[in-house]
Amino acid sequence: VTWATLPYGSFTTPHEPGRLRVGVRLDGPRAGRVLDLTAAGPALVGRHAGLFLGGTLDPLLAAGPTVWHEVRESLLAAWDTADERFTVPADAVTLHLPWTVGDYVDFYASEHHAANLGRLFRPDSDPLTPNWKHLPIGYHGRSGTVVVSGTPVRRPRGQRRTPDGEVVFGPSTRLDMEVEFGFVVGAGSRLGESVPQAAFADHVLGVCLVNDWSARDIQAWEYVPLGPFLGKSFATSVSPWVVPLAALESARVAPPPRDVPLQAYLDDRGSRWGLDVAFQVHLNGHPVSRPPLASMYWTGAQMLAHLTVNGASVRPGDLYASGTVSGPEPGQWGSFIELTRGGREPLTLPDRTTRTFLEDGDEVVVSAVAPGPDGAVVDLGSVAGTIVPAA
Q: How far is the CB of 93 from a second copy (least distance, A)?
A: 23
Query: CA–CA separation, 293 vs 295, rounded Å?
Result: 5
Q: Of how many residues is the chain composed? A: 391
Query: CA–CA separation, 274 vs 299, rounded Å?
Result: 6
Q: Which stretch binds a second copy (CB under 8 A): 75-83, 201-209, 215-223, 347-355?
A: 215-223
When asked if residue 315 is in the footprint of a second copy (CB under 8 A), the reply is yes
Q: What residues contact 15, with CB distance under 8 A and at least 6 apart?
A: none
- The answer to whether 140 and 103 are in contact (CB under 8 A) is yes
Residue choice 58, 150, 229, 386 for contact with a second copy (CB under 8 A) = 229
Nearer to a second copy, 42 or 311 (CB): 311
Residue choice 111, 180, 217, 222 for contact with a second copy (CB under 8 A) = 222
Q: How far is the CB of 261 from a second copy (least distance, A)?
A: 9
Count of residues near a second copy by CB under 8 A: 64
- The answer to whether 299 and 110 are in contact (CB under 8 A) is no
One character per residue 291-310, x = contact with a second copy (rule: CB under 8 A): ---------------xx-xx
Q: Strand, helix or coil at 153?
A: strand
Residues labelled as active-site residues: 113
Which of 183, 204, 201, 203 minimizes the C-alpha distance to 193? 203
When asked if residue 341 is in the footprint of a second copy (CB under 8 A), the reply is no
When asked if residue 258 is in the footprint of a second copy (CB under 8 A), the reply is no
When asked if residue 226 is in the footprint of a second copy (CB under 8 A), the reply is yes
Alpha helix (H) residue ranges in the chain:
37-45, 58-63, 65-78, 111-121, 200-203, 216-222, 300-308, 336-339
Q: Which stretch binds a second copy (CB under 8 A): 30-38, 58-66, 143-151, 174-182?
A: 143-151
Q: What residues contact 369, with CB distance under 8 A and at least 6 apart?
A: 277, 278, 377, 378, 379, 380
Helical pair 37-45 and 65-78, crossing angle rounded to 10 deg: 90
Q: How far is the CB of 221 from a second copy (least distance, A)?
A: 6
Q: Which residues bind a second copy (CB under 8 A)?
A: 102-103, 105, 108, 118, 121-122, 129-131, 134-135, 137-145, 147, 154, 156-159, 161, 167, 169, 191-194, 215, 218, 221-231, 233-235, 263-265, 306-307, 309-315, 318, 391
